[in-house]
Structure 1
């Protein structure tokens, strides 16, 4: 349930705080006083849409904050918080806030932790259920009736629907594969020819992994053969022959070795150094031989370079068509080989796919039949319950029917089409809601659905936003008593213009406009017993309140209090 709602800089509200109570919380006020702003603010906390236009003129941001007591759906809500890494309080209070800024950005927080807007929607589903005037239109749309019916199902039912969706996905994938085989013969042969051409082009090239790198390396050597010859020949001359009448490195090193050998005979400590120079001499001598052989084998071959360029052109052409690397081209060829094999063996492949489709369809139909049975059971229950509730809401002769028809082909909801039918008078045939239901009747049907659904979804707070459209007289009294009954087991917040509903308030909040110089403000005040009588008198008679109206209002409130005591 919601304990406190704090609103700041939203529309005409400068700053307001409402402390809601258990039972029935009534919001009343003149038309245009701002009751809808309170409900809209609540919807913002539950993930509703918002834009910067709701920010009060002159303010930089709008803020709404709510303190909730998690007294139902506790395990589910705790799991959602755990998955998001949000800690919950020991007293099971939950603080949700949302800021809307001038640049249109939203900042949402749960227990001080920033969360995405979608998280508020997910969490709000288990905290509050809102029934507003727009839901009457929702009820008139027969395409929505199936989802309404499914709201009364348990977790196992939705697990079945999940399995059904997975099977349908597999079935659709097989259908796509099958379509590839059912193109006309001309298109099929063209595809086979194209595949053969592509495979042949790649295979004819006889490409190998690492080939391109080797070719590029060899081309670089051939292009730079003259440079290689000059630099390596100079290396050889420096080591072995000498340059410009200078003694070669090897000759100089031989002289060093001779001197070390003579000195060693005098000082034996030079033995290690002599061995090192001798080793270096042998190594350099071997290097000079290798350099000589390398230089003698340097040969610029124009024909070889030309062949390499041709080969690189072939590889480049293949890369432009089939992949960025040799490895990708090889993978492409393998994929096309597999595709060609399937096309050439189409009949066998079509048989295998059709057999697999048939097996999956049998599973789909079996699950759809189970879903249908469960819907039928819930429909039978719902028909009786709604008829009973509507009878309590002054529609005693109403017959409510859930018409479930089978589709030719299944979809993610199974093979059912659902439509609500109704007969409101004795002797009238059952017809769709949009054919015969009035605004007042739709209000009561929606109220009946919400009343029953509340026992299934476990949501502890219900908001009724002017659901009394088209209701008056005896029907209004029946609706008031039903709302009062609902509020005995859960928190109800109700925006209303009806005196019958208003009189049932456990907590009554009056919303009014006030003017201060050139600004308009919205004032929200919790009424005491005397205030309730005066506000109810205003609702009954308008601006002029007489003694008769006052006494009538007092009587209505006292009668309502006596009625509620009997419900406890």
Structure 2
């Protein structure tokens, strides 16, 4: 859920910080007070299109920040955050967006700089904004199949995952077949190229870690003089006249005599004695190494030449010898495949045929499951629409292509199965069913969208759902029904709602009043959480306009009492 929203220098808002709670939060106020501006700010946090026009006049930038809490074990945003390397600790996510006066945006998620597209992907997993004229996911037919799959819960999910696992195998086989069926000229050019590459790599006779060994050897030769000088000095320090070994031998003799007279010195005598023999062996090794040291400029030249050859191959075929050899084995296999193309094409066609048959069987099973859940969804939708006084509206989940086509060659196999799904509606008796995207906007559209939201909000995993004046164009019993639907969505999701309907405002768990005032010649927007008495007055204003009478207040109290009974009923149902 959205816990805190901070807005600074945004439109007519100078600085505003709003805390939100669970359940239904209703925002009311006079037209132009800034209600929709708050929703605009949330929309921009979710990756909406920004503009310099949002920056408050005279300021350099607008600053927007939102704190969200999620259930890390369940919420889909956790996987998205992991994908983009965004750390989520204690189930908290902070979205931040700064918009400069030039219109450019800087976006951050939990302090990490991200692109606008990443902010949008994360934001849309947390917030779903539905406005009167806004094109939403539910309106786009490309989302209808995923929504149906979500409605089908684990049964469809398991069948879909099973299908997609086999589909990946099928898709890879198809790509191999297509590559082998390029035109003859392309295949000939490809064969010539990889023959040359195979020969070049084979001729180089590569050995793993060869480059590292050569670099080490080159380093030794280049530093021959310094190494020789160091070993000579070290040897002379140990073995020269009156040097370390002579003094150590004398110390060993003296301590040996002392230990013979007093056993307390035996340990020291043994340690010095051991050190003498160890250093004597070291000096001998240094002497042997000095005898073997030899500066070989020809060897250095050979190493340079070999390293240049290896670096040339790396530029062409990989960053390391291991990568080059892996590429060699790959193109060697490809060369064999092209040279025996007909045999491989025949084998692939047999494999594809077998996998396709299995895939079609799984696709048919998936389609049957979907059609079964589509019938259930249709029943639910009709019940929701009936409660919204649209009992004559007909809803249908239409399968535009089904997996039962007997001619397999005509079936288009897709990543998500064989089905294309679109929601169709007819709002008036005798009228033909039309795609949901073609249904006219207005009061009917608001109710249809609420019905769908009420069902799908439980399956979408959205943290916060925002309704921006979706109740426009309705009144009376329909308004009451819309209020009930909005509240029902709020039982399972946090809902923020801008409304002009007293029936909706009465159902608020939190009622925020938005107002504007003049200060030092500038307009400022403020937000206030209303107590019970203030809520009665505001609902009264919504009922009657400017003048609030005792009768209006009584009517407002009755609405609040009815709302309280409705909430109790929903609470009992959830238990």
Fold conserved (TM > 0.5)?
Answer: yes
Structure 2 counterpart SS, 1:483: helix
Counterpart residue number, 1:507: 510
Counterpart residue number, 1:545: 547
Q: TM-score, normalised by structure 1?
A: 0.66
Counterpart residue number, 1:523: 526
Task: For residue 416 of structure 1, report the CA deviation from its aligned partner.
Answer: 0.5
Counterpart residue number, 2:146: 147
Task: Pick one of 416, 420, 424 that aligns with 2:419.
Answer: 416
Inter-partner Cα distance in structure 2 for 1:151 and 1:53: 39
Structure 1 portions without partners, runs of 5+ = 214-285, 288-311
Inter-partner Cα distance in structure 2 for 1:121 and 1:494: 21
**Contact (CA 8 Å) 1:80, 1:123: kept in 2 or not?**
no
Task: Pick one of 453, 465, 469 that aligns with 2:468.
Answer: 465
Structure 2 counterpart SS, 1:105: strand
Map Cα deviations across residues 375-415 of structure 1 (whole Å, 9 max, x no partner): 22321221111111111111012221111232521212211
Map Cα deviations across residues 313-359 of structure 1 (whole Å, 9 max, x no partner): xx99x98998799x899998876664443233222111111122223
Structure 2 counterpart SS, 1:509: strand
Counterpart residue number, 2:276: none
Counterpart residue number, 1:349: 344
Inter-partner Cα distance in structure 1 for 2:123 and 2:198: 61
Map Cα deviations across residues 417-467 of structure 1 (whole Å, 9 max, x no partner): 111122323444433234555522221111111111233356564322221
Cα 1:152/1:489, change in 2 over 3 Å: closer
Inter-partner Cα distance in structure 2 for 1:67 and 1:207: 59
**Contact (CA 8 Å) 2:394, 2:427: kept in 1 or not?**
yes
Structure 1 counterpart SS, 2:180: coil
Counterpart residue number, 2:180: 181
Q: Is residue 493 of structure 1 aligned with residue 488 of structure 2?
A: no
Structure 2 portions without partners, runs of 5+ = 211-290, 293-305, 403-410, 569-575
**Contact (CA 8 Å) 2:423, 2:435: kept in 1 or not?**
yes
Number of matched residues?
Answer: 460
Task: For residue 539 of structure 1, report the CA deviation from its aligned partner.
Answer: 3.9
**Contact (CA 8 Å) 1:30, 1:512: kept in 2 or not?**
yes
Cα 1:188/1:42, change in 2 over 3 Å: closer
Structure 2 counterpart SS, 1:515: strand
Counterpart residue number, 1:376: 371
Inter-partner Cα distance in structure 2 for 1:38 and 1:509: 12
Inter-partner Cα distance in structure 2 for 1:79 and 1:432: 30
Cα 1:195/1:336, change in 2 over 3 Å: farther
Counterpart residue number, 1:278: none
Q: TM-score, normalised by structure 2?
A: 0.65
Cα RMSD after superposing both structures: 4.7
Using the TM superposition, name which of 481-490 and 406-415 deviates more.
481-490
Task: Pick one of 395, 400, 404 that aligns with 1:400.
Answer: 395
User: Equivalences for 1:148-547 in 2 at 5 Å?
Assistant: 148-155=147-154, 157-158=156-157, 160-162=159-161, 164-185=163-184, 194=192, 198=196, 338-406=333-401, 408-457=411-460, 461-487=464-490, 491-540=494-543, 542=545, 544-545=546-547, 547=549
Inter-partner Cα distance in structure 1 for 2:194 and 2:67: 69
Task: For residue 181 of structure 1, report the CA deviation from its aligned partner.
Answer: 3.4
Counterpart residue number, 1:298: none
Counterpart residue number, 2:94: 96
Cα 1:114/1:431, change in 2 over 3 Å: closer
**Contact (CA 8 Å) 2:72, 2:78: kept in 1 or not?**
no
Counterpart residue number, 1:279: none
Task: For residue 28 of structure 1, report the CA deviation from its aligned partner.
Answer: 1.6
Inter-partner Cα distance in structure 2 for 1:209 and 1:66: 57
Q: Is residue 15 of structure 1 aligned with residue 18 of structure 2?
A: no
Map Cα deviations across residues 464-489 of structure 1 (whole Å, 9 max, x no partner): 22212443343222212322344456
**Contact (CA 8 Å) 2:93, 2:109: kept in 1 or not?**
no
**Contact (CA 8 Å) 2:505, 2:539: kept in 1 or not?**
yes
Map Cα deviations across residues 282-318 of structure 1 (whole Å, 9 max, x no partner): xxxx99xxxxxxxxxxxxxxxxxxxxxxxx9xx99x9
Task: For residue 11 of structure 1, report the CA deviation from its aligned partner.
Answer: 2.6
Counterpart residue number, 2:34: 34
**Contact (CA 8 Å) 2:170, 2:355: kept in 1 or not?**
yes
Counterpart residue number, 1:303: none
Task: For residue 494 of structure 1, report the CA deviation from its aligned partner.
Answer: 0.7
